Amino acid sequence: MLTVAEIMTPNPITIRRDTPLSAVIGLMKSHRCRQLPVVDEGRLVGIVTDRDIRLAMNSPLILHDRSDDQTLLAFTTAEACMTSDPMTVEPGTPAAQAALVLKTYKFGALPVVHEGRLVGIVTVSDILDSYISLLSAQEKEVCP
């Protein structure tokens, strides 16, 4: 049985509650990720996704100038738009179970927590990578 520990991204990039959205966006771009766990002394307190940021920035009810966007990015923190106390999995959770949670709730990622501490993150991309590896291995067995 394949476990989350075998496919997760260990020690993911994290942010703090007080990280400005401008820095959150910069980290997402530079590390090519769409979710960042929010930690406080190694303990998971939330998660910020690219969708959370888009919702915070693009309210259809508010018309604003570009300078307003820059101010919002500089002074709004991760805590303002994060999902607090997100759903998590343990490293020993079967990968198939994590995949089912991701599919059911339409999440892009699940933080991986062990004894209250963040140890990794499992993403839809991690699930797909493991699936691709499995299929490739099966094809090599059938057609050596």
pTM (predicted TM-score):
0.87
> What confidence score (pLDDT) does residue 141 get?
75
- How many domains, the chain? 1
| CATH code for position 128 | 3.10.580.10
Residue 91 neighbours by CB distance under 10 Å: 16
pLDDT over 80 at 144, yes or no: no
Q: Residue 121: name the closest of 10, 38, 6 by CA.
A: 10
> What confidence score (pLDDT) does residue 61 get?
46
Give the mean pLDDT of 12-40.
96
**Domain encompassing residue 14:** 4-142
Please give the residue that has the higher pLDDT: either 140 or 76. Answer: 76
> What confidence score (pLDDT) does residue 130 get?
94
Q: What burial letters (b/e) apply to 117-137, b meaning 16+ CB within 10 Å?
A: ebbbbbbbebbeebeeeeeee
